[in-house]
Structure 1
């Protein structure tokens, strides 16, 4: 059936508004946003990240993951950094974030130094975006320009962490989860490569070892030798919730394509990792990334920049927190 000229005009207006909205977000976030207002902002954050990594190499993975978890809940506006109060449980205390997220002290360090140099200028959301970039770069990835100008949100609700993808999702569920945030399936596979650094608590994948899909046995897609190694590190009878294993079996502190090579060898730690081989398109991307270290790093950088623009607050919305853990009084 032919669409009326009136409906066509309405549709054109809607599409044009959508294009203008996307362009406005990109124009409000700018590379070098603090060039005049706080010239050393990005250097100060980078130095804080370097100091943090020197003390604890695992902080890098924590900061990359923290930025991801920030952007997927309410957008990239620093709500993951807010502490719980007597009347509200914040995002950071959700089981999806606690105890797995690390690096808050690095953000605090950068915040304090920035406040000493240019008070009330740099947002906590931008600090986190810079810190994620620097964490990737300082662990063997690459550096990339981060558009800035985000403002900080004033709400953090534990219930909203349901937007975060759990490690049990299959490839279709992952694709849908990322699509809700405007990210493509290929970008999902690319960003999953962030698991190349860091660690996981045994509780996040225990069912794959001992009770996969309620079968009282291990996930048949797991490499047998790898599964035996994981069982040694995560005993079935253990009640220790602090037991951890590296996400990447080969180079767990280096941002490289070993993550994808692990998946090809059936050594993906999470269901959400190994499931990438269950779909023709995503399996092809895993293969391609495994063979192209620099290509994956460039794609990861581009995907991080795109993710960093999800539902940002700019202009006069939000605030610039003096302390990233609490809203301004």
Structure 2
């Protein structure tokens, strides 16, 4: 629908027997992680560095809340409030746009400022121009382990689409539940440490 590649999603995945928000949070990458942390996190789950960079291309659509990148705009360091990796004009526009983010936590900006509603390789083209929104975005073109793949995807959208599709297919079967390790729920369930509730 937004111009991206087609990939097969297998049917029949079971739900876990326990659903805790804290468990999901532990497994998700953070926007301010170092590249070492990101590579280790993905490697632990069987993904290569190339697959990590391909999956990061999902940032070609969607948005991030201002709080996720506010430190890059207002508190990068004592001597340099704004992250110098930002394009100056882009940073200035974001500072104006996100000025009230502490009062309104819903404020957000597009991950890809140039083609936000189109799934393409513009995300990678944006990075060397200082248009990477999140810390982890900007690091992709600075780290020698990830830069070659980011540069490749910026030049060749078809390679990006192929690699993204394969990585998404691999992600879709990560830690699947089989046999008695999983269940098919009649109602979506969410369980927290302090309380349980069901949504019907």
Answer whether contact 1:190 1:296 (CA < 8 A) is retained: yes
Give me the whole-angstrom Cα distance separating, in 2, the residues matched to 1:203 and 1:312: 33
1:310 aligns with 2:167: no
Give me the whole-angstrom Cα distance separating, in 1, the residues matched to 2:82 and 2:26: 27
- Where in structure 2 are the equivalents of 1:26-105 lying within 5 Å? none
Give me the whole-angstrom Cα distance separating, in 1, the residues matched to 2:44 and 2:94: 33
**CA deviation vs aligned residue, 1:45-76 (integer Å, no higher than 9, x gap):** xxxxxxxxxxxxxxxxxxxxxxxxxxxxxxxx
Answer whether contact 1:210 1:236 (CA < 8 A) is retained: no
1:140 aligns with 2:3: yes
Deviation at 1:205? 0.5
What's the counterpart of residue 18 of structure 2?
155
Q: Secondary structure at the match of 1:149?
A: coil
- Aligned match of 1:259 in 123, 126, 135? 123
What's the counterpart of residue 183 of structure 2?
319
What's the counterpart of residue 275 of structure 1?
139
Give me the whole-angstrom Cα distance separating, in 2, the residues matched to 1:216 and 1:199: 26
- Where in structure 2 are the equivalents of 1:166-205 lying within 5 Å? 166-205=30-69
Give me the whole-angstrom Cα distance separating, in 2, the residues matched to 1:250 and 1:152: 37
Structure 1 vs Structure 2 CA RMSD: 1.9
Deviation at 1:147? 2.7
Task: Output the TM-score relative to the length of structure 2.
Answer: 0.88
What's the counterpart of residue 17 of structure 1?
none
- Aligned match of 1:165 in 19, 23, 29? 29
Give me the whole-angstrom Cα distance separating, in 2, the residues matched to 1:210 and 1:295: 37
> How many residues in Structure 1 have an aligned counterpart in Structure 2?
191
Task: Output the TM-score relative to the length of structure 1.
Answer: 0.55
Give me the whole-angstrom Cα distance separating, in 2, the residues matched to 1:272 and 1:237: 20
- Aligned match of 1:239 in 103, 106, 111? 103
Unaligned runs of 5+ in 2: 191-197
**Between structures 1 and 2, the one with greater strand share:** 2
Query: Computing the radius of gyration over CA atoms, which structure comes out larger, 1 or 2?
Result: 1
Unaligned runs of 5+ in 1: 1-137
**CA deviation vs aligned residue, 1:248-303 (integer Å, no higher than 9, x gap):** 01111111101101112111000011001121231111110011112111110100
Give me the whole-angstrom Cα distance separating, in 2, the residues matched to 1:217 and 1:291: 32
Deviation at 1:159? 2.6
The structure, 1 or 2, with the larger RCO (C-alpha pairs under 8 Å, 6+ apart) is 2
Give me the whole-angstrom Cα distance separating, in 1, the residues matched to 2:90 and 2:180: 52
